[in-house]
Amino acid sequence: MRVTKEQGAAIVIARNLAERLVVELPEIGEMYRSGALIGEISGRLGVLERYDITRDIARRAVSLAVRSLIPAEELRPLKKEHQSIANRVGGNAAYVNSSGVHANSHEGLLVLGRGLAEKNGFIPWVGRIEYENYCLISEVEYAYLLSINSEFKHKGGGNNGRPVYLKIAEEINRFYHESKPVRNRNSVQKAILKYKLSQSPQ
């Protein structure tokens, strides 16, 4: 698989934006402390319009900015509180009756769908997102790129030169899932193997 410089650079767009947010919108930290959810912060500050980006990148950048603005020891309990708030929002956004699951908004349905998926232990892998001048590579592609990066390989011992799948999983969770333990060593290893096979000439 050949990865262009543009594709390789796309993955850091949210990180670069997060660095700008820390400087330009430091109030993000206080908003999060006051109970505002990531999506709410992004909307109230007009991050999408201000930086001309997608909702997904805006949410990810805001999440990264929060981690830079709030010390880890303070952030841990805050994240639990926010998760509780998000769960309540999801519960209020939908209901179940004899006709099945219904949501009062598209966003509510997304919240409910993700909640049900998490409850059943399945979170779909984030796919590639194409833009006019660049693309944000998929979760699996990023995992593969990390697996061939020397920083994510064993150094010495019997596994010398082999990928450190646990470290890759932690990075995937940090970037795509707000550090939630969505991926683990085994799921990442299987996904990378499947991806490599899909790229092999038939």
Asked if 153 and 108 touch (Cβ cutoff 8 Å), the reply is no
Positive or negative, the Cα torsion across 44, 50, 53, 59? negative
- pLDDT, the chain, mean: 75
Which residue did the predictor score with more confidence, 196 or 1? 196
CA torsion angle 82 88 89 92 (round to 10): 180
Residue among 89, 100, 22, 17 nearest 60 (CA): 17
User: Which has more pLDDT, 118 or 29?
Assistant: 29
The span from the CA of 59 to the CA of 50, in Å, is: 13
Say what the pLDDT of residue 60 is: 81
More confident residue, 122 or 74: 74
Is 130 in a helix, a strand, or coil?
A: strand
pLDDT band at 169 (very low <50, low <70, confident <90, very high): very high
DSSP 171: H
Confidence of residue 8 (pLDDT cuts 50, 70, 90): very low
Cα(91)–Cα(116) distance, rounded to whole angstroms? 11
Residues whose CB is less than 8 angstroms from the CB of residue 36 and which lie 6 or more positions away in sequence, other chains included = 44
Report the phi/psi class of residue 50: left, alpha or beta, with left for phi > 0 and alpha for psi in -120 to 50: alpha
Could you write out the three-class secondary structure of 66-107?
Answer: HHHHCCHHHHHHHHHHHHHHHHHHHHHHEEEECCEEEECCHH
Q: What is the DSSP letter of 4?
A: -
Please tell me the number of Cα atoms within 13 Å of 68 on its side-chain side.
Answer: 19
pTM value is: 0.46
Domain segments of the chain as ranges: 5-119, 138-199
pLDDT in tens, 82-118: 776 655 544 443 333 333 444 444 444 445 455 555 5
Predicted confidence (pLDDT) per residue in 52-71, tens digit: 887 777 888 888 899 999 99
